[in-house]
Structure 1
Amino acid sequence: MTAPLVLVLGMLFVTLAGGIWVGISLMSIGIVALAAFRDMRVDRFLAGDIWSSSTAVELITLPLFILMGELLFHTRLSENLFRGLSPWTRRLPGRLVHVNVMGCALFAAVSGSSAATTATVGRITLQELLSRGYDRRLAVGSLAGAGTLGFLIPPSIPMIVYGVVADVSILELFMAGVLPGIVLAAMFMGWIAFKAWREPSLVPPMEPAIPRAEALKALANLVPIVFLICFVMGSLYFGFASITEAAAIGVLGALLVAVGQRTLTLRGLWQALLGTVRTCSMIGLILVGALFLSKAMARLGLPADVANAIQALGLHPYMLILVLLLFYLALGCVLDGLSAIVMTLPVTLPLAVAAGFDPIWYGVFLIITIEMAQITPPVGFNLFVIQGLTREGIFRIAAYAWPFCVIMMIFTGLITLVPDLVTILPHSLRG
């Protein structure tokens, strides 16, 4: 390994192990590396890079989508999801456990956050499922797994960050996540049905069927969320609005839903605004640090060195993806998914592109790997959210969610073998 690479890896280990903020760690590593190995004014380079990174037009979408999710958290969407979906799942194998998956998939389409999706859906479904006698492992595990769909189904905060760092179309990334999100949700539901069929004791006795008219009437509870999905994603897909305009439309739609449900209070609005500022500040610091480090590494020639070293191993493209999957799984145990993406992307993206993978496809692959990071201890944010709802231990919740993590691993193999599952919709936009 070259001296700059040894310095960067060593400082990464020291700063992260020392508990230093990720954004500060990344910037400090870039500063020290450039000062040590390049004769240049690092202060001017850093100042210019911070300004250009933080004023990128694409970043306008970030606070808007985050605000939309914060506003929706203060509405009655979670109650409406359970009331609207439960009449249609009570006759399926696994019955009401499917509400976890379907509810998370629907809320993910208007949220952009895995943690918000898990918290919003779980605060109603977990209480209902456990009080009706459903197996705790299946109820909690399905919520942990399905909550990760908040990252894959657009609008997705990590997709916006990936699009900015990788310099690819955020709209194409959003379109690329639609079909994989639907397929992954179907695989989760398939596992729940199979598990309930093999072990009938996991679910309570079948409840009486609800009359069709009553079940159809219950669908009215889904009108607000379907309205929002069509409002935001429909305007994007049919070209009525740009990604930034769609984000603004989403905020307007969330406000209309909150006003229509009479849940919007001044206190709730203030909390939503504060939550947006906190989240944007955290992501912004990480993003600025990551973009600066990536440019510093490019100046030092590190991505090319690493790429050449790995290419010298002669790995088959599929083997490379397997290595990257294992790498991100290990990284997800000690680092949150968003930080893992921005820290490693300058090195791993050129490798994937050189192996023949589409940058849009690779973005979806990365999103799925950080979905797994959401439910792997000790740093899994979905685990923390569910711990707050259930008071269960982190490792116990992770054990409940393990089958769904395995399903996501299998799904990465599926999209590797059938990349059109990811690229067909974004390619249709181009053509």
Structure 2
Amino acid sequence: MDMMAAVVLIVALFAVLGAGMWIGLGLLAVGLIGMELFTSRPVGDSMMLTIWGASSAWTLTALPLFLWMGEILFRSKLSDSMFRGLAPWMDKLPGRLLHTNVVGCTIFAAISGSSAATCATIGKMTLPELKKRGYPDAMAVGTLAGAATLGLLIPPSIIMIVYGVAANVSIAKLFLAGVFPGLMLAGLFMGYIAIWALFHRDQVPASDMSMTFMQKIYESRHLIPAVILIGLVLGGIYSGIATATEAAALGVAGALGLAAWEGSLSWQKFKEGLISACRVYCMIGLILAGAAFLTLAMGFIGLPRHLAEWIGSLHLSPFALLMMLTVFFIVLGCFLDGISMVVLTIAVLLPTVEAAGYDLIWFGIFIVLVVEMAQITPPVGLNLFVIQGLTKRDIGWIARAAAPMFFVLMAAVLMLYAVPEIVLWLPSRM
């Protein structure tokens, strides 16, 4: 009976997603099929209570606010200012201005929370400039695709909020846990660029800047708005003055203030940003509601317990379990977006993960890293589609350019497994 239920639900899930149904509605439909066929529970009452519970959690309030903050910044002049402030400092590094992709994404990730928004904003800033200066297209595009995934790892992160709600762990601690891994991953990306540049000196254009140290300091004034906003959002959380939701509200107020100060806040852009944030949040909210109902249905049927028992019967070591989950999420990422992956699988996997002895904060950062891999793998790599919109290049060519970044992300996963304190040290001090 349990095997039949599992087969029916998996077939139904692939059928509704393959038919092009919205993911949230598809998850609701599969949950409805499971409840009707394999349980005697009242479906209507269960669906109503579950959807209300999934949609009304106070923790989720931070999500639309961070989305709105990212939309405001996306439409502001902040990206142009960031390039002017960063370029003089990157010019002497191996790889020169290719590092602006990584450093720009690192800074913007700390005030955005979205990989796609980071990719689009920094891409609009760096790709035309790098092309104009003669940098190889493949390296410019590949490093952007990889570095933009920092939008998910460096707090504030949309997917960390979703995981925190799904796994019932502290979002503030998750944000703290993402700081060092995010900086480590940025360092790995920059290290890859430097090594590539040392072996391909002929492909790196000569320096076209000549500035004194004080001139570089003066140009750095363009980074002040981003630093102020990062201080408002992350400083409020880490100091304990503000919760994640309150910090998100501060971030929105700060982004509106910066956009107004720069002269880029018009009524039209205000409306566009608000409408776009509402659309994205409604999509995420529908996915969360559908996944919550499907999780309830699977719980009534007993699938999570049986899956945990099956994995336990394999007697895998913690490392083997981690590698199996990595492959599982990479394959799943070929068909689903990151948020859908998290809400669809976390409730099923948590018992097994806890039994293996993994800390749920550490596991959340691991999930974010493997979801980052999915952002740059076809056919549903969101960053690939964003870059395709910016460059009009073939999606296969973009995926090949981003392939080295996939292996950098894999190296980061192995490093976090070997040294879990990279993740856990900062949250333990909270």
Is TM more than 0.5 here?
yes
In 2: Cα distance, 1:415 partner to 1:202 partner: 33
User: Do structure 1's residue 86 and structure 2's residue 87 form an aligned pair?
Assistant: yes
Q: What SS is found at the alignment partner of 2:135?
A: coil
Q: What SS is found at the alignment partner of 1:35?
A: helix
Structure 1 counterpart of 2:251, which letter? G
In 1: Cα distance, 2:168 partner to 2:203 partner: 47
Higher mean Cα deviation, 25-34 or 400-409? 25-34
Offset at residue 260 of structure 1 (A):
0.8
Aligned counterpart, 1:165? 166
Deviations 1:275-317 (A, max 9, x none): 0110011000000111111122112211110010011011111
Give structure 2 stretches of 5+ with no counterpart. Answer: none
Aligned counterpart, 1:193? 194
Deviations 1:71-100 (A, max 9, x none): 111111111111001000101100000000
CA RMSD, aligned part only? 1.0
In 2: Cα distance, 1:13 partner to 1:73 partner: 34
In 2: Cα distance, 1:113 partner to 1:182 partner: 16
In 2: Cα distance, 1:13 partner to 1:269 partner: 39
Report matched runs for 1:2-401 at 5 Å: 2-401=3-402
- Return the TM-score normalized by structure 2: 0.98
Q: 1:208 and 1:228, CA in 2 relative to 1: closer, same or farther beyond 3 A?
A: closer
Could you tell me whether the CA contact under 8 Å between 1:77 and 1:225 is conserved in 2?
yes
Q: What SS is found at the alignment partner of 1:118?
A: helix
In 2: Cα distance, 1:199 partner to 1:313 partner: 46
Q: What SS is found at the alignment partner of 1:110?
A: coil
Task: State percent identity of aligned pairs.
Answer: 47
Could you tell me whether the CA contact under 8 Å between 1:140 and 1:400 is conserved in 2?
yes
Deviations 1:348-389 (A, max 9, x none): 222211111111111111111111111111111111111111
User: Do structure 1's residue 411 and structure 2's residue 412 form an aligned pair?
Assistant: yes
Give structure 1 stretches of 5+ with no counterpart. Answer: none
Offset at residue 272 of structure 1 (A):
0.4
Offset at residue 29 of structure 1 (A):
1.2
Offset at residue 106 of structure 1 (A):
0.1
In 2: Cα distance, 1:336 partner to 1:359 partner: 21
In 2: Cα distance, 1:57 partner to 1:296 partner: 24
Structure 2 counterpart of 1:200, which letter? R
Could you tell me whether the CA contact under 8 Å between 2:88 and 2:209 is conserved in 1?
no
Could you tell me whether the CA contact under 8 Å between 2:65 and 2:248 is conserved in 1?
yes
Could you tell me whether the CA contact under 8 Å between 2:176 and 2:427 is conserved in 1?
yes
Structure 1 counterpart of 2:140, which letter? A
Deviations 1:108-164 (A, max 9, x none): 000011010011011021000011011111111000100110000011111111111
In 2: Cα distance, 1:259 partner to 1:277 partner: 21
In 2: Cα distance, 1:46 partner to 1:349 partner: 22
Structure 2 counterpart of 1:165, which letter? A
Could you tell me whether the CA contact under 8 Å between 1:138 and 1:202 is conserved in 2?
no
In 2: Cα distance, 1:208 partner to 1:272 partner: 36
In 1: Cα distance, 2:163 partner to 2:344 partner: 11
Structure 1 counterpart of 2:167, which letter? A
Could you tell me whether the CA contact under 8 Å between 1:349 and 1:362 is conserved in 2?
no
Structure 2 counterpart of 1:29, which letter? V
In 2: Cα distance, 1:336 partner to 1:49 partner: 22
Could you tell me whether the CA contact under 8 Å between 1:91 and 1:209 is conserved in 2?
no
In 1: Cα distance, 2:41 partner to 2:5 partner: 15
Structure 1 counterpart of 2:400, which letter? A
Offset at residue 208 of structure 1 (A):
4.4
Structure 1 counterpart of 2:421, which letter? D
Q: What SS is found at the alignment partner of 2:110?
A: helix
Could you tell me whether the CA contact under 8 Å between 1:34 and 1:42 is conserved in 2?
yes
Could you tell me whether the CA contact under 8 Å between 1:171 and 1:243 is conserved in 2?
yes
Q: What SS is found at the alignment partner of 1:2?
A: helix
Deviations 1:391-428 (A, max 9, x none): 11111001001111110011111101111111111111
Structure 2 counterpart of 1:213, which letter? M
In 2: Cα distance, 1:160 partner to 1:42 partner: 28
Could you tell me whether the CA contact under 8 Å between 1:415 and 1:422 is conserved in 2?
yes
Structure 2 counterpart of 1:33, which letter? G
Could you tell me whether the CA contact under 8 Å between 1:118 and 1:144 is conserved in 2?
yes
Deviations 1:12-58 (A, max 9, x none): 12112222111111111111111112112110110111111111101
Higher mean Cα deviation, 289-298 or 202-211? 202-211
In 2: Cα distance, 1:29 partner to 1:74 partner: 38
Structure 1 counterpart of 2:423, which letter? V
